[in-house]
């Protein structure tokens, strides 16, 4: 069974920090590149960052230098450390495979106030 469970979201003032954690099940996630996505109301889902199984990372320009993605293949987790949060970061954050079209989890809400 393929499952994704995101946690760690919350409400924070601009400039604050949050750390999101995703626990996944299903062997497919252990061999694929993993990503964090986000979606604001009325907006399309966008890719925030991804990490390959070997640890190579890439970030959207809007978060580069502020967010850090990491993974622990043995524990089936992928995390997103978010620093210096901005109101534009407000969204529901999801983890999944790069290029995923299905099997989305509940997501975790991040709200940044000014």
Q: Residue 59: which residues within 8 A CB-CB, separation 6 or more?
A: 48, 49, 67, 69
pLDDT digits (tens, 9 = 90+) for 41-90: 999 999 999 999 899 999 999 999 999 999 998 899 999 999 999 999 99
For all residues of the chain together, what is the average pLDDT? 95
Predicted pLDDT at 29:
79
pLDDT digits (tens, 9 = 90+) for 78-99: 999 999 999 999 999 999 999 9
β-bridge mates for residue 29, sequence order: none
């Amino acid at each position: 069974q393929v499952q994704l469970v995101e946690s760690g979201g919350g409400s924070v003032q601009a400039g604050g920090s949050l750390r999101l954690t995703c626990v996944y099940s299903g062997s497919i996630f252990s061999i694929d590149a993993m990503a964090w996505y986000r979606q604001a109301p009325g907006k399309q889902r966008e890719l925030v960052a991804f990490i390959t199984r070997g640890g190579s990372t890439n970030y959207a320009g809007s978060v580069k230098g502020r967010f850090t993605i990491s993974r622990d293949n043995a524990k089936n987790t992928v995390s997103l450390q978010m620093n210096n949060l901005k109101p534009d970061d407000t969204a529901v954050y999801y983890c999944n495979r790069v290029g995923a079209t299905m099997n989305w989890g509940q997501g975790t809400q991040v709200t940044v106030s000014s």
